[in-house]
Amino acid sequence: MFILGEEINNEINKVKEFIKKLDEINKIIKKNITINNSDEEIYICSFKEFKYLIFKKFEYDIYGRIICSINQIISKILNYKNDKDEIKIYSSIKKDLKKMSSFLKLLESLTEQNKNSYRLVLSYDNDKKICFGIYCIDASFGMKKFMEIKPYSVIFTSGTISIDMLENLLQIKFYKTMNNKHIINKNQFLMNIIENHSVLNYRFNHYHRNDKNQINYLGIDINNLAKSVKKGGILVFFKSYDYLKKCHDIWKYNNIFSDIKENKTIIYDLKYIYKNIEDNIKEAKSNNNILLFTVYRGKNSEGINFKDDEARMVICVGIPYPNLSDLKIKLKLNFLEKRYEENKSGYDSVTWYEEEASVAVNQALGRLLRHKDDYGIMICFGVDFKNYSLFSK
């Protein structure tokens, strides 16, 4: 087993050597083929250019050798059964090697025929260390590959994503579709849009996010709404953690929610306040008295069930359009617009952008009604909701 351990160390050193080369790659990209240079110092190159940098700028093919030798070592570890103690020692290493092997195989699979489906992104992490990743911007490529194995049947189900969106993004036509009516009757929920507070209209776009008066009035209105819910929890969804933190700081300073703390457990989904946020939410849910301030597209809006009295009101603050400064969103929008211009069909970038916001709002509102006998109140803050197509779906 000592020989096997030595082989593993050798391969790990090769991987380290490969990663070190990224610094040299980055210098070349900065100097010669920088395509995008944002404030976060993110550099993008096509896979063809990256492949050239790896194979042409360096004399040896460490990339290919790592894939081959790592898989051989993993095979040896899996087949080695003589010493259980040593197997335990190498089990964690085996997982890391498998991850590296899978990643390198993925790089290898990105050939010229599907280069438009992926973007290779080089960036710096918080410690200013260079790292790289692969963004899939065209899910239809993976779907086409999947369909090549000729599955007997494929079933898609969703409570928020439209059939049209799935067909357009996956570039397939469903053989049969079914769109069921909602199991909840109209008399089981109340929906209302709050557009303004006396002197101002509620707008939660980039230009109004620092408006302290709006944040104050928002807190006052949420406070009044919370008082009206004598029994049951309340969920409040924000567009981002930054805006949630800004609201929290102002409301704390103005002591806006001090008068309802006796009846509600107020929790802000901010890690610097609650280290064990999930435990706090779980405890508050069990008492049916939670007032939770959280965000769209997070665990609380899509991954946690708030049934019955755990949630009797959901409040949505603004429409959560994707962040245009996010590199992934930029790449996706550019790809969709280019494909739409070429084919004159499918989803254009604007349609996809609005649909993404619609899905996020649907997911958040969906925390309220969890079964056929559930009921509650939905409140949406913002003038943008007035003419929003979400409520017709």
CA distance 124 to 55: 23
| Cβ atoms 382, 202 nearer than 8 A | yes
123 and 208 in a common domain = no
142 and 126 in a common domain = no
Q: pLDDT tens, 143-181? A: 888 888 899 999 988 888 888 888 888 888 888 998 888
Which amino acid, one-letter code, is at 95?
K
| Cβ atoms 294, 269 nearer than 8 A | yes
Q: pLDDT tens, 303-354? A: 788 989 999 999 999 999 998 888 888 888 988 998 888 887 778 899 999 9
Domain boundary among 102, 136, 170: 136
Decide if pLDDT at 381 tops 90. yes
Residue-number span of the structural domain to which 236 is assigned: 186-392
Instruction: Check which CATH number belongs to the domain holding 268 and give it.
Output: 3.40.50.300
127 and 195 in a common domain = no
Q: pLDDT tens, 112-151? A: 556 677 776 665 556 655 556 677 888 888 888 888 889 9
194 and 93 in a common domain = no
Among residues 243, 378, 266, 246, the alpha carbon closest in space to that of 320 is found at: 243
Determine what percent of the chain is predicted with pLDDT higher than 90: 30
Among residues 111, 114, 132, the alpha carbon closest in space to that of 123 is found at: 132
CA distance 365 to 226: 17
Name residue, tokens 């096997």: 4
CA distance 267 to 287: 13
Dihedral Cα 27, 31, 34, 38, nearest 10 deg: 70
Domain boundary among 153, 180, 207: 180
Contacts of 241 (CB under 8 A, 6+ apart): 269, 270, 295
Decide if pLDDT at 93 tops 60. no
Decide if pLDDT at 3 tops 60. no
Decide if pLDDT at 1 tops 50. no
Q: pLDDT tens, 223-278? A: 999 999 988 999 999 999 999 999 999 999 999 998 888 788 899 999 878 777 88
Dihedral Cα 120, 121, 122, 127, nearest 10 deg: -140
269 and 151 in a common domain = no
154 and 215 in a common domain = no
Decide if pLDDT at 390 tops 70. no
Q: What's the pLDDT score for residue 292?
A: 94
Domain boundary among 136, 168, 196: 136
